Chain A
């Protein structure tokens, strides 16, 4: 099928950017949005034009590198699906498709569809870790973790760090991302030892780049890892807990 692609072009972070229109004549419903971009880029290269910069790596929905806004939706029209898995099945011959970067004040555009999401890692650097050095961990079987709690921790740990939640949020909040990490680590016996300290550090850092949460819930509709909205509640819960307890654990 033939698709008319309106794609965001921006040469440098300082550049103001613009849309460009191209057509791909041989798109197929099984193609992913990223494969459509591959195809477009092949075409552009053969014509001697600069290909569209966009990010991806695993193409299996697990690395979190991909992330484009498709017709206004972060990652694309299918809910809870990363860009690399968004198929074109919903598009008809001759239809337009608009591709732009993930939009958020916290994610400056580097080039075309590539954005800088390092603000997310700054939050992890501030406190999203466990203070245990190589070789000092106790026997993992000596720390019992109920089956169900391990599963809950895993539900929260599934975040792929793509940043779509931030882009979907009208406030540009990172609560889903931060809440999933706080919950994941506080459910584990080693992680909970510094629960209060971690919450303080991560929330402080979060507030440097990201907006407040007004419970719109847009984040969990786009999240490819299906992080539930309860993660958002955890941000406030962990924040209040550490504020009132004033303790590191």
Chain B
């Protein structure tokens, strides 16, 4: 299925959208298992003495950004790195709990690079780029070695070697961890390495700076526009190349497992400047988040997936059953995952678990006072293993649950519900991690590619680290090499002045609306709209309705927003408003993408496309990634055909 075979994707029939052209992902020809090695050999090099004359801007200090900035700094390039946090350590990578994967080669549980790729591609329901998955697996060991060496204290066996566990729907043990704080330990190690380069003088770090726009020079990305969040000053910074590693946008749903400040603005601004965004509607909903309990709750709390190893998920068999869990007899409980998927039971992959929970809640079987959750019950595990064993395994999680809900999970079952968690889609890039805008690279969750339509647990800490430490430090210099001898754009050049003017007028516009509601008001409404219209399951009807509602909400936003205070100093309302404004545009495209894709795959589940309640993928028509361009208010769907060499296209089956 290539462009010249005459295959064409289905026409795009969504109002306001049209089909575009074919995209080449640029992966090396030939066997994928050696592709990355061969590509690295093709890359141009820059003489060490010349590197400091080439400047790279890195936006974001998460695992991807800190890694890229530190590694490029170590190589000797001039790096300027930005984050809106007050410290690089606070990037949301810090919140990851479970672990980080690496393809096992030595253990005898029969893991291997090929099996890692197969799991990643199958897990992603064949909507990711296979060549990238190979690179992910191939570099995974260097990531573990490196992150351990720079300070992440991974769990160790009594023999002193690294400990692993099995995680997220795979049958081998390839997940490395540091208690339930793997992300924190990696993030702290990464930001320390970044600060080491600050100390060495190769990296200039600017904290409390938010990227508001890109500087474009004849189609190339030549810099960024930043707002100093403390002084309000808007400045332009130019460089030979820019890396965006600004994380995921799951908090577009308002209630999500992401941080309050996570956002899509940097990526969305790139889209507005012409970059493509791939599969924006592929959102993973985590099945073990806590249901929203009150009106004032600020976000969704994530409980580790590992709880599903011993907890049993159930709902009352009778819809609307008002009895407390303890008074519902065994035969009136529906352990629906065990019933429907006997082989995997409570450990079915995230999307399957989330979808089934939503189906139970929607059909009136939800539990809790708001009827918006399902039970995760440890009664049987406690009876079988004893309370102390359960406490040893999950003590901190049980404490966290009790803290958050005031209920004792040793005595009553936990209540869980799916929450927006991870964005598989993001800025489209080629195999070299360069977006469709020359000079603009992407790393980590704000990109796409590895995870297809559904990410495997513990693969995204890995992808952020692989991008930052072991991909961008090769591919960015390849782009920089021919630019040696050129200077970054001058601060008074026309493109810089234009970008600054654009940014200032947008800030003024936001401040000048003078309406009645703060940005959070609109964000909450948008979140509800998206959960309803473009959530765990989607239909033509729900998506069409959501698109109209989002358009209306956007209009309201631009006429009813009120930002109190000025732009000349710290103004968190202004920060939020800018982010919500971008969400209101991205949200529409998410719905368009979901509406356009007439199939179900991974986390994208269209009710119309199912067979016996399972996702009905349509490889004949939809084996491609949609990469959207925003062109004069119209959405244009370009497509990158996806082919698979090492893994046969096959339907996922967890029954």
Residues of A within 8 A of B (CB): 11-12, 28, 30-32, 34-35, 38-39, 41-42, 44-46, 48-51, 53, 55-60, 62-65, 85, 87, 89, 110-111, 114, 116-118, 120-121, 124-135, 137-141, 143-147, 149-151, 153-154, 157-158, 160-161, 184-185, 187-188, 190-191
Contacts and interface: CB of A to CB of B under 8 A. Distances in A.
Nearest to A125: B195
A89, A121, A138, A153 interface centre (most CB from chain B within 10 Å): A121
Give the interface size class of chain B.
35 or more
B259 A58 contact: yes
A62 B470 contact: no
A134 B146 contact: yes
A30 B162 contact: no
Contacts of B145: 137-140
- The 5 lowest CB-CB distance pairs between A and B, nearest first, are A144-B160, A137-B149, A45-B518, A129-B196, A153-B153
Contacts of B518: 41-42, 45-46, 51
B299 interface: yes
B323 interface: no
A171 B511 CA distance: 42
A150 B153 CA distance: 6
A42 to B, nearest CB: 7
24 contacts: A28-B296, A30-B294, A51-B572, A55-B86, A58-B95, A60-B301, A62-B94, A62-B183, A65-B86, A114-B570, A117-B87, A121-B88, A126-B199, A129-B192, A130-B150, A132-B146, A133-B71, A134-B473, A139-B145, A150-B154, A150-B155, A158-B181, A161-B87, A161-B188
A164 to B, nearest CB: 14
Interface string B158-184: 111110000000000000001101011
A185 B154 CA distance: 13
A80 to B, nearest CB: 12
A134 B71 contact: yes
Given A12-B569, A53-B572, A188-B151, A135 B301 contact: no
Contact of B564 (A32, A38, A49, A188): A49
A128 B193 CA distance: 9
A140 B150 contact: no
A124 B191 CA distance: 9
Contact of B149 (A42, A117, A130): A130
A120 B74 CA distance: 23
Contacts of A153: 153
B296 A39 contact: yes
A50 B160 CA distance: 55
A191 B193 CA distance: 12
B469 interface: yes
Contacts of A117: 86-87
B562 A110 contact: no
A44 B562 CA distance: 11
B570 A53 contact: yes
B294 A31 contact: yes
Contacts of B141: 139
B516 interface: yes
B185 A154 contact: yes
B551 interface: no
Contacts of A60: 95, 301-302
Interface in B511-548: 516-518, 520-521
B156 A147 contact: yes
Nearest to A27: B296
Contacts of A44: 564
Given A31-B296, A140-B145, 20 more contacts: A30-B405, A32-B298, A38-B296, A42-B520, A46-B517, A58-B259, A60-B302, A63-B95, A125-B195, A129-B192, A130-B192, A134-B70, A134-B71, A139-B145, A140-B148, A144-B159, A146-B158, A146-B160, A154-B179, A161-B89
A110 B296 contact: no
Given A59-B299, A60-B95, A185-B151, A147 B160 contact: yes
